[in-house]
Chains A and B, each alone.
Chain A
């Protein structure tokens, strides 16, 4: 049997998985009801991986709704990587345009936060920087060094109170119904040890971390924080960051003029 004919088999199998079961009939001795086992396993593997990552979305929508949505997503966007813990990065954006989710426009934001939590949880380990190293910096050096964030730090900013809504569902047994507020909110995930922590942060802290994430010097990041909130205190932001283990190292910037 030639390779060309074999390729026909794989094409036929792919078509059958996609729904055209008749495509496989030239390769079957008799009708094969067992083929559905493969289709079901493939679907439940993808859906199960999404359910493991997007736990808050599933909590808010209920299992049945979530599994139906996840199944539709996985048909349109199957996994590309056998490491299924990496599957689902595009699920939040897909949910934003999923017609049955039109009544719950916050769901995509909730999914985004589930994804960031998961990224923080599985990020590389690193030792957090202590205050001693930071205290050694002189004021003149702030424009030529940057603070590298701990690999588990993730941040997100929203026009509404989606972060509070997400946080309220992390301890669902508290039972308090939570309404979505209209005020902008920002959230930070970090994992100084083995447990992911989530904290709401103010606009200045968010601007500071956001600039550091883009590789800016401490000075430039501080200027960003002051633009966000002219009354903010850089020493307070730095002390808060040290306490939460947000920084991993201090690195000189080769070209501070950036």
Chain B
């Protein structure tokens, strides 16, 4: 059955077989393209089998779009190769940096949102969209320190990027919740500030309190099920903007596939409810 992407799951190697045989309406899968930047072998064979049956999204972590250096051309070429091979329904990256002077930090790092940074990140997104021959979505990061020197709020920065480059947004509701908690702003206000037309995908994931600081510092671990407060924000968002492809992310403490499928189903029910409400109101 081919349906529009509804609720999807981050694809873990230990779940390849279950993903291939998944038959839920609207199911789709997402991977980090960096994990498939090898020439061949079992990993590509499994991804090809998943892609044969389901829509696939490529969610990059390595382009360093907010860095002070342009995106690496070799990395863009490898990404383009994967885009051509797997024909993903969505391609996304982060509003963060990770690469500088030949070293790669495996993380999504913050930066001062200055006007100069806005122009620079827009150039990097333009170059990426040109190299890939398609539009990408940009994800809001989880933040752990309050930097000084911002000229724009994060929502202003993201909206300006969309207007100047034509990119869309991947709104990670858990990241909004975590950053709002850590930096002391209101998550709902943040979410309400994003125009519906810019949002092309939503992420949901679990977080955990820091071992020392507790709930003053929440960490975006992707290591637990989605928090009830994040589900509430998600319902609030979806009620306003309508259904969007929604992904359950899990990268640590990965449970049995059935547990992730149950969370996927919960998101699917919320999405279906919104679709029906739209029909009733029409």
Contacts and interface: CB of A to CB of B under 8 A. Distances in A.
Contact of A27 (B37, B100, B112): B112
Given A10-B100, A80-B104, A82-B98, A124 B40 contact: yes
Contact of A122 (B40, B107, B145, B147): B40
Contacts of A81: 75, 104
A17 interface: yes
Interface string B101-135: 11111110101101111001000000000000000
A256 interface: no
A236 B22 CA distance: 47
A204 B143 CA distance: 59
A64 B103 CA distance: 26
B111 A9 contact: yes
B68 A123 contact: no
Contacts of A124: 39-40
Most chain A CB within 10 A, of B34, B41, B63, B210, is at B41
B103 A78 contact: yes
A244 B36 CA distance: 26
Interface in A116-149: 121-126
A34 B145 contact: yes
A135 to B, nearest CB: 28
Contacts of A14: 100-101
B148 A29 contact: yes
Contacts of A123: 38-41
Interface string A143-176: 0000000011000000000000000000000000
Interface string B73-104: 00100100000000000000000011111111
Contact of B149 (A10, A27, A78, A151): A27
Contacts of B257: none
A10 B99 CA distance: 10
A37 interface: yes
Contact of B114 (A6, A30, A80): A6
Given A1-B116, A10-B68, A125 B40 contact: yes
Given A37-B219, A122-B41, A42 B106 contact: yes
Given A9-B149, A27-B147, A34-B182, A79 B40 contact: no
B81 to A, nearest CB: 12
A33 B40 contact: no
A37 B217 contact: yes
B211 to A, nearest CB: 10
A7 B68 contact: yes
Contacts of A189: none
Tell which of A33, A34, A45, A121 has the most Cβ of chain B within 10 Å: A34
14 contacts: A1-B151, A29-B146, A34-B182, A37-B217, A78-B103, A79-B106, A81-B75, A82-B99, A85-B35, A86-B37, A86-B38, A125-B41, A126-B40, A194-B42
Given A1-B151, A84-B35, A194-B45, 15 more contacts: A9-B111, A9-B112, A10-B67, A26-B148, A32-B146, A34-B217, A35-B145, A45-B105, A79-B106, A80-B102, A125-B41, A125-B45, A151-B39, A191-B41, A194-B42
